[in-house]
Amino acid sequence: MTIKMSKHAKTLQRQQGVALLVIMLIVALVTVLATEMVTRLQLNLARTVNIKANNQAYWYAMGAEEFAKKSLRDLRTLNPDTINLNQPWAKLFNYPIDGGGIQAQVTDMQACFNLNSLVTKRTDDGSSNVSSEIKIQTEIQAFNRLLVLTNSDAIDSFTADTVSESLADWLDEDSDLRSYGAEDGDYESLQFPYSAANSLMTNSSEFRLINGVDVSWLNLVLPYVCVLPNDSTLAVNVNTLEPDHAKVLAALTGLSTDAANRLISARPVDGYKNIADFLSEPELQDLNDTQKAWLTVKSNYFMLDIKTRYNGASFNMSTLFKVFNTDEVEVMSREFRSIN
């Protein structure tokens, strides 16, 4: 027997189907929204945890900086006349903490060649001092030797002259071009032009901008050079030179790298008490007064490298200190870097 549905029943059935579809659509929409809300909540929670961990890692680094300042402050009263690698400041600092750790190392920033030392000193009337220019030439020659010693295959005498005199032109305040140097015209003609600084460097990374510098050997030179902000002094501490920095001593003295390495290896455990003791070594009897003035047993600038880790967050900071000639250990600069 066939049962026929009334027109009203058919309409009611269609309405029920539409209502069911609407309900299912609402449920799906609510599910999507709920999922999105949960995802955003989880992301915000993770972001909050990361921010907290990063902040904690940062403050651990600042704490390590204060600890280093105290260690360097002790140098002002304990033994300011001789700085050597057997003193507490030179020891690697490792401190474990819950969820991470702190690693800090202080290095002497006068165990390298100060790039700012190639600047020509000016007289009161703004002109170049002849004696100062002659003095700079001796420092240019020392820097030439250092460049060649780092990689004699890639850096020949012409390249060394070009880089050294271009660096001197970069630092001085005038626009006078040295024989192998470079000024604004040379840099402004590049594909990506810029001008010479005509002022002291603030970071050794600026060295890559100097005319003649090639990326193929740049990283071989950088470990031996440094920049002392607002300081054009060339004074290398013979007590804090590591054996792998013997090329710096060789460049300043004219010795071979092997001879310089032997001098460093034969250094007393507590370093030389004064520079006269070091200069009495037989290999150094032919040094002139300028070369002797480049050598010292004191240091005024130190770099602190800090690495902190906390709950998966990492933080790396480098702080440059000036210890003497001021009332307090002075923070000259801070640099934040990613951890390798």
The CATH code of the domain that includes 196 is 1.10.40.60
Contact between 236 and 187 under an 8 Å Cβ cutoff? The reply is: no
Q: Which residues pair with 101 in a beta bridge?
A: 96, 309
Contact between 150 and 256 under an 8 Å Cβ cutoff? The reply is: no
* Whole-number pLDDT of residue 16: 67
Q: What mean pLDDT is reported for the chain? A: 87
- Confidence at 9, pLDDT banded by 50, 70, 90: low
- Confidence at 35, pLDDT banded by 50, 70, 90: confident
* Whole-number pLDDT of residue 20: 78
* Whole-number pLDDT of residue 11: 66
* Token couple for 232: 């054009």
Mean pLDDT of 161-175: 93
Please list, in sequence order, all residues whose beta carbon lies within 8 angstroms of the beta carbon of residue 168, skipping any fewer than 6 positions away: 118, 119, 120, 136, 140, 178, 181
Q: Which stretch of 36-50, 72-86, 133-147, 266-280 has the lowest confidence by average pLDDT?
A: 36-50
Contact between 240 and 299 under an 8 Å Cβ cutoff? The reply is: yes
- Provide the 3-class DSSP secondary structure of residue 102: strand
Q: Is residue 269's pLDDT more than 70?
A: yes
* Whole-number pLDDT of residue 15: 67
- Count of domains forming the chain: 2
Q: Is residue 131 part of a domain?
A: yes
Residue where a domain terminates, one of 178, 206, 224: 224
Rounded Cα distance between 148 and 154, Å, is 8
pLDDT digits (tens, 9 = 90+) for 190-207: 999 999 999 999 999 999
Mean pLDDT of 210-233: 93
* DSSP letter (8 states) at residue 179: T
Residue where a domain terminates, one of 190, 224, 258: 224
Q: Is residue 127's pLDDT more than 80?
A: no
* Whole-number pLDDT of residue 154: 86
Q: Is residue 289 part of a domain?
A: no
Residue where a domain terminates, one of 195, 224, 253: 224
- Residue with the two structure tokens 């066939």: 2
